[in-house]
Amino acid sequence: MKNVVVLGGGVGGTIVANLLARRLRREEAQVTLVDRDGKHVYQPAFLYVAFGGMDPRKVARDERRLLHRDVRLVLGEAERIDAERKEVHLADGRALAYDRLVIALGARLAPEELPGMEKAALHFYSLPAAMRMHDALERFPGGRIVVTVAGVPYKCPPAPAESACQLDYFFRRRGIRDRVDIHFLSPISRVFPLESVNPVVERLFAEHGIRSTVFFNVESIDPEAKTVNSLEGETIPYDLLVMVPPHRGAKVVEASGLGDRGGWLPVDRHTLRVKGHDDMLGLGDCTDLPVSKSGSAAHFQARVVADAILADLRGEAPATRYDGKVMCYFDAGYHKAMAMSFDYEHPPETPRLGLKAWIAKHLLNRAYWALVPTARV
Amino acid sequence: METAVKANVLIDARGSFCPGPLMELIRGIRQAALGETIEVWSTDQGSRKDIPFWVQKAGHELIGMFEGPDYARFVVRKRR
């Protein structure tokens, strides 16, 4: 019997494991999923926690309950991948042999890469940080809020601009919007990464009095002076700093010599096989794919990875290729949102901002648990 | 589409609408050592304007911009 080992119980790893368990006969292969703590986290909820729109207790569920009964769940931290011997070594000394390895470990927050960041900045990229941000926003008496990213790449490229809109909406509801100056700093030439969507976001910023500066790539923070400095040579003051922390690839990928300089796993953009290792496949935020680091990308990639493994185990040619598909939402507040979808060949069309997409986004927030990790959609 | 330059790092950002080729280049520059070269492939029309502008603004050096039938290649040296 063959062994398929999946590292990571996030959206990508969970869907791959469930699809395989559903489609493989029991005597064909054992599917094992390794997860650090057995908790599956719905990360898009963090933004809502930061702005008080979601109960922090509702963002995570037991991974075991989301997995097909034939998937073996191993709790532990993968410490080293031995590509020669085809084994994964866990921190507690256990070793797992694999015929096919799936690496779906996500991105790692690395605030230590920007000195001063941990103390000076708020963010919504982990549950504790989102809860701290919510407290700080509730207490904020007014002043200048700077919203930016510490570096690239980072998860969910629209999220910083989305958070600027949410700040406007939050302080409008708190009744102190006139005392809050929101200043958005973008690392690239426009406020929104997607060119065809940028005019919509620029219009939103103009309507809601959100200022912006482009080509601002953070080089350092001066927590004493309360300024943020760019590598392009500008300095901007803040009273409250909202900054997406630096990201790196997965630790075990780096420790095993499989990552690039940022620790990102190099995978083929269509087959999702790890370059130079045909028996390993990578998906989601931990890879170097030139697509958004987002659950939706991992979701679409998971089907390709599961198809490839099934074909490998059965000696067939894989039937599907990843086409770069990503789908995402932007919640602008005021019960308005927009949905965007694109792939390697097709840029997104300019979306309509309105109630329909807002309802769809909020339905997804609720329906996620029943539909997505379980691979029903 | 031949260049005399062999870059230290190659980033294939073709088809990248989000985060996009400029963000991929910034990632490459941040991870590079001083003096190293980064080559970015882009199918995004906007890159022809964005990339040279940012490279100049951030104090790096655009060694070359090479137009092909399907995509453009940009070679940049990290200067600071």
- Residues A61 and A140 both lie in one domain: no
Residues of A in contact with B14 (CB under 8 A): 290, 344
Half-sphere exposure of B68 (CA within 13 A, CB side): 14
Give dist(CA A289, CA A12) in Å, integer: 14
H-state helical runs in chain A: 11-23, 45-50, 63-66, 117-120, 127-139, 159-174, 198-207, 251-255, 295-313, 355-371
Q: How far is B2 from chain A (nearest CA, A)?
A: 24
Residue A114 burial class via C-beta count within 10 angstroms: exposed 0-12, middle 13-18, buried 19 and up: buried
Verify whether the Cβ–Cβ distance B19 to A260 is below 8 Å.
Answer: no
* A343: closest chain B residue by CA: B15
Could you tell me the two tokens for A282?
């990578």
Could you tell me the two tokens for A109?
């927050």
- Given A152, A269, A348, which is nearest B26 (Cβ)? A152
Q: Tell which residue, A72, A86, A76, A73, has the closest CA to residue A26.
A: A72
Is a pLDDT exceeding 80 seen at residue B2? no
In this prediction the ipTM stands at 0.90
- Residues A175 and A266 both lie in one domain: no
Q: Which of B11, B16, B17, B27 to mutate to test the interface with A (most CBs of A within 10 A)?
A: B17
Give dist(CA A314, CA A103) in Å, integer: 21
A56 and B CB contact within 8 Å = no
- Is the Cβ–Cβ distance between A104 and A10 less than 8 Å? yes
Please name every residue paired with B61 in a beta bridge, in sequence order, or none if there are none.
B77
Give dist(CA A103, CA A93) in Å, integer: 19
| Boundary-marking domain end, from A313, A330, A358 | A313
Domain ranges of chain B: 9-77
Q: Tell which residue, A59, A375, A292, has the closest CA to residue B17.
A: A292
In a domain, A337, yes or no: no
Residues of A in contact with B50 (CB under 8 A): 188-189
In a domain, A148, yes or no: yes
- Residues A122 and A217 both lie in one domain: yes
Q: How far is A354 from chain B (nearest CA, A)?
A: 22
| Boundary-marking domain end, from A313, A334, A367 | A313
- Is the Cβ–Cβ distance between B65 and B37 less than 8 Å? no
Question: What pLDDT, on a 0 to 100 scale, did the predictor assign at position A163?
Answer: 98
Residues of B in contact with A232 (CB under 8 A): 57-59
User: What contacts A11, CB < 8 A, 6 or more positions away?
Assistant: A284, A295, A298, A299, A302, A372, A373
Verify whether the Cβ–Cβ distance B19 to A269 is below 8 Å.
Answer: no
Residue A212, SS3 per DSSP: strand
The CATH code of the domain that includes A181 is 3.50.50.60
- Given A157, A215, A260, which is nearest B54 (Cβ)? A215
Give dist(CA B41, CA B76) in Å, integer: 12
Task: Calculate the alpha carbon distances from A377 to A6, A18, A181, A297 in Å.
Answer: 20, 12, 42, 14
Q: How far is B57 from chain A (nearest CA, A)?
A: 6
Give dist(CA A344, CA A171) in Å, integer: 38
Give dist(CA A88, CA B42) in Å, integer: 36
A349 and B CB contact within 8 Å = no
The model's pLDDT over B11-64, given as tens digits with 9 standing for 90+, comes to 999 999 988 999 999 999 999 999 999 999 999 988 999 999 999 999 999 999
* A157: closest chain B residue by CA: B19
* A342: closest chain B residue by CA: B17
Verify whether the Cβ–Cβ distance A152 to B12 is below 8 Å.
Answer: no
- Residues A121 and A207 both lie in one domain: yes
- Residues A260 and A212 both lie in one domain: no
- Residues A66 and A181 both lie in one domain: no
Verify whether the Cβ–Cβ distance A187 to B58 is below 8 Å.
Answer: no
Please, what is the Cα angle at A374 between A368 and A375, to 5 degrees? 95
Q: How far is A216 from chain B (nearest CA, A)?
A: 9
- Residues A124 and A209 both lie in one domain: yes
Contacts across the A-B interface (CB distance below 8 Å): 87
Which residue is listed with tokens 């901002």? A353
* B16: closest chain A residue by CA: A290
Q: Tell which residue, A78, A85, A101, A76, has the closest CA to residue A17.
A: A101
What class is the B9-77 domain? Answer: alpha beta
Q: How far is A192 from chain B (nearest CA, A)?
A: 9
- Given B16, B22, B59, which is nearest A189 (Cβ)? B22
Flag residues of chain A having pLDDT under 50: none
A227 and B CB contact within 8 Å = no
* Number of domains forming the structure of chain A: 2
Question: What pLDDT, on a 0 to 100 scale, did the predictor assign at position B45?
Answer: 87
- Residues A126 and A241 both lie in one domain: yes
Question: What pLDDT, on a 0 to 100 scale, did the predictor assign at position B3?
Answer: 52
Residues of B in contact with A188 (CB under 8 A): 20, 22-23, 26, 50, 54
Tell me the Cα Rg of chain B: 11
Catalytic residue IDs of B: 18
Q: Which domain holds residue A253?
A: 2-107+249-313
- Residues A232 and A149 both lie in one domain: yes
Question: What pLDDT, on a 0 to 100 scale, did the predictor assign at position B18?
Answer: 86
The model's pLDDT over A332-375, given as tens digits with 9 standing for 90+, comes to 999 999 999 999 999 999 999 999 999 999 999 999 999 999 99
- Is the Cβ–Cβ distance between A62 and A55 less than 8 Å? no
Question: What pLDDT, on a 0 to 100 scale, did the predictor assign at position B4?
Answer: 56
- Given B13, B19, B57, which is nearest A193 (Cβ)? B19
Q: Tell which residue, B24, B19, A375, has the closest CA to residue B10.
A: B24
Q: Binning pLDDT at 50, 70 and 90, where does residue B1 land?
A: very low
- Residues A92 and A50 both lie in one domain: yes
In a domain, A357, yes or no: no
Q: How many angstroms separate the first and last alpha carbons of chain A?
A: 29
